[in-house]
Chain A
Amino acid sequence: MTPPETPIVKEQKRSRLPKSARAGGTLHGGPLAYAILAVFMIVSLFPLVWTAIAASRDNQRLAENPPPFWFGSNLFKNLEIAWKDANLGEAFLNTTIVAGTSAVTIVVLSTIAGFAFAKLRFKGRNALMLVVIGTMMIPPQLSIIPLYMMVAKLDWTDQLQAVIFPSLVSAFGVFFMRQYLLQALPDEVIEAARVDGASSWRVVWHVVFPAARPAMAVLGMLMFVQAWNDFLWPFLVLTQTGNPTVQVAVAGLGRGYTPDQSLIMAGALLGTLPLLLVFAIFGKQIVGGIMQGAVKG
């Protein structure tokens, strides 16, 4: 995925311009810019760091003034108890299955549909694309009541497929892959494959998938994050004792009558760590993906 480029302007022409002409991508940030960013970064990261601090204390310390600012000694003990109490091992497995299935399916279906919308001519293409864009505007939550009836009727309550099936498609995914393939896949390559006698499916397999691989990876990560963090629907159809996802399990930690705050924080930390790890490793690609999906509409 190519990051949006900042236009390169010749230095000579540049030097005659007032300094303010170089705003918007080419002006160097001064100390003030870094200071503002640093403040904002601290605000962004502080609740996460503090989750770890609170998870490393005991409940009593959290009910004192001032609140703790540094780590205590109970981190691993609390993580262990939270892991067991909230049944997090099973929850992690469940969430991985749900988010993995949903991400892979969305990526494959979005790629072939996006390819058709980007590169093939067929009747009704523009109208259907408008439908795709329109569905991005419908919040999926408005469908939860019949979905719940369906799940109840099929006896899928507490079963993972109740969460998986409604999350297998994404209009955003189709739109995203279409935008990518419009530029990333030259028509000549498809033509060449067609001249060689390849059927449409062979073109998809041997030309489109390889060309779309970077975008597929990014879309897969975005959809994995989204499915991992989904709350409302899993909360409705899965119980804490049945087949909880991580979010349902973590939310359950906060629901007792005398909740142990340090344990809740340990659970919240455990529920967030895997994604923070993903962000630490693939952060650049995820950022590029979000920015790619945002422009060129």
Chain B
Amino acid sequence: MATRSDIAASPVKGGAAPGRAPGSRSADKDDKRRAKLSRRWQRDARWSPYAFVSPFFLLFAAFGLFPLIYTGWASLHQVELTAPTDMNWVGLKNYTRIFDDDFFWNAAQNTLTIGIISTVPQLMIAMGIAHILNYKLRASTFWRVAMLAPYATSIAAATLVFVLLFGRDYGMINWALGAVGIDPIGWQDDKWPGQIAVSTIIIWRWTGYNALIYLAAMQAIPQDLYESAALDGASRWRQFLHVTLPSLRPTILFTVVVSTIGASQVFGEPLLFDPNKGASGGAEHQFQTLGLYLYEQGWVNQHLGRASAIAWTMFAILIVIGLINQLISRRLRASS
């Protein structure tokens, strides 16, 4: 990495100024000045990098790291929303309490299934779209921007629109299904339809975004890889399998991790998709996610300590996912 600019020549102004005989008094003075400037310059070069990165780390420590650790501390206490500063030590009781709660396991399962049915199709469609966008196209910018339009929509607006589209009696989707002879589906009432509907909102908002990420990675693949594959007689499909996909492995891994983190946090969609707009994720908790369960425990039932325990459980799950990801990417790197 060529980053040695800071050890460039000493920047003393007018160092080689003419008209100063060596040994004269002014040169002496000049030397001192030069030394002083040089010291200041060195100090500057040495410490300014830390000054440049410190605002980020200070703010991150205050609003990211400290709260994360404090959440762990709070999870070992009984804390009520009404008096968030009164903390009673209860040890691991919050954890045993939530692990005994059927709704926790229900929420964990829903988070997993919604995560899978939103992430897998999303990334596969994104890959296909990226492949097409990678052709030479007329108005390519127009297509890319149009794909990204859902990304501009907020969770709140998008969910409210989809609530109407997925309406049981007058929703457009059931109407379209009725046109091909399928009975109306209770999207907000039943388990799988509810989870599919919530996932649809997520897929709709994020597919274009992921397609652009894949497209960027595809454009970085060297052209001659395709040429030599073609000379070997590989069909387009085989080129996609044997050139495109392997080259995209790091990017795919990246999008999987980012989508997984996103999926573990799903909150607004099931909250607003619930006909009662409550925290239970449908009357039967059929699409209550962990994020929603956390909110219900903390802000509806007012048990902040228990909510903290949920947050830390989620954190632990993410760390495990991160480690698995590390393992996979290391293995991939070793094999390639």
Residues of chain A contacted by B3 (CB below 8 angstroms): 118-121, 187
| Top 4 closest pairs, chain A to chain B, by CB | A21-B230, A143-B67, A283-B145, A200-B48
Asked if B324 is an interface residue, CB under 8 A from chain A, the answer is no
Asked if B132 is an interface residue, CB under 8 A from chain A, the answer is yes
Contact B56 A191 (CB under 8 A): no
Contact A232 B268 (CB under 8 A): yes
Contact pick for B153, options A29, A48, A199, CB 8 Å: A48
Asked if B141 is an interface residue, CB under 8 A from chain A, the answer is yes
Nearest CB of B to A117, in Å: 7
Known contacts A128-B57, A169-B63, A284-B145; 5 additional CB pairs below 8 A are A48-B161, A67-B170, A139-B265, A231-B154, A250-B154
Closest to B254 in A: A297
Binding site for A on B (CB under 8 A): 1-9, 11-13, 37, 41, 44-46, 48-53, 55-57, 59-60, 63-68, 70-71, 74, 79, 84-85, 125, 128-129, 132-137, 141, 143-158, 160-165, 169-172, 175, 204, 208-209, 212-213, 215-223, 226-227, 229-231, 234-236, 239-240, 243-244, 250-251, 254, 257, 261, 264-265, 267-268, 272, 277, 291, 295, 298-299, 304, 307-308, 311-312, 314-315, 318, 322
Contact A121 B7 (CB under 8 A): yes
Question: Tally of A-B residue pairs with Cβ under 8 A?
Answer: 376
Assembly CA distance A76 to B216 (angstroms): 41
Residues of chain A contacted by B307 (CB below 8 angstroms): 145
Contact A47 B161 (CB under 8 A): yes
Asked if A97 is an interface residue, CB under 8 A from chain B, the answer is no
Determine the main DSSP class of B at the interface with A. helix
Assembly CA distance A24 to B136 (angstroms): 9
- In this complex, how many residues of chain A approach chain B with their Cβ under 8 Å: the count is 128
Closest to A47 in B: B161
Contact B304 A33 (CB under 8 A): no
Contact A254 B318 (CB under 8 A): no
Contact B277 A255 (CB under 8 A): yes
Contact B59 A109 (CB under 8 A): yes
Contact pick for B155, options A150, A229, A294, CB 8 Å: A229
Contact B157 A279 (CB under 8 A): no
Asked if A75 is an interface residue, CB under 8 A from chain B, the answer is no
Assembly CA distance A4 to B230 (angstroms): 23
Asked if A1 is an interface residue, CB under 8 A from chain B, the answer is no
Contact pick for A24, options B6, B68, B128, B226, CB 8 Å: B226
Residues of chain A contacted by B53 (CB below 8 angstroms): 112-113, 116-117, 128
Residues of chain B contacted by A283 (CB below 8 angstroms): 141, 144-145, 148
Q: Which of A1-39 contact B (CB under 8 A)?
A: 4-7, 9, 17-18, 20-29, 33-34, 36-37
Contact A196:B13 (CB < 8 A) given known A33-B135, A272-B154: yes
Contact A145:B304 (CB < 8 A) given known A25-B136, A279-B148, A279-B152: yes
Asked if A268 is an interface residue, CB under 8 A from chain B, the answer is yes
13 CB contacts below 8 A, A to B, read: A4-B220, A7-B222, A26-B223, A28-B135, A47-B158, A47-B162, A141-B311, A145-B307, A225-B152, A232-B291, A254-B277, A271-B154, A297-B250
Contact pick for A169, options B59, B79, B155, B220, CB 8 Å: B59
Contact A143:B146 (CB < 8 A) given known A191-B5, A229-B154, A231-B267: no
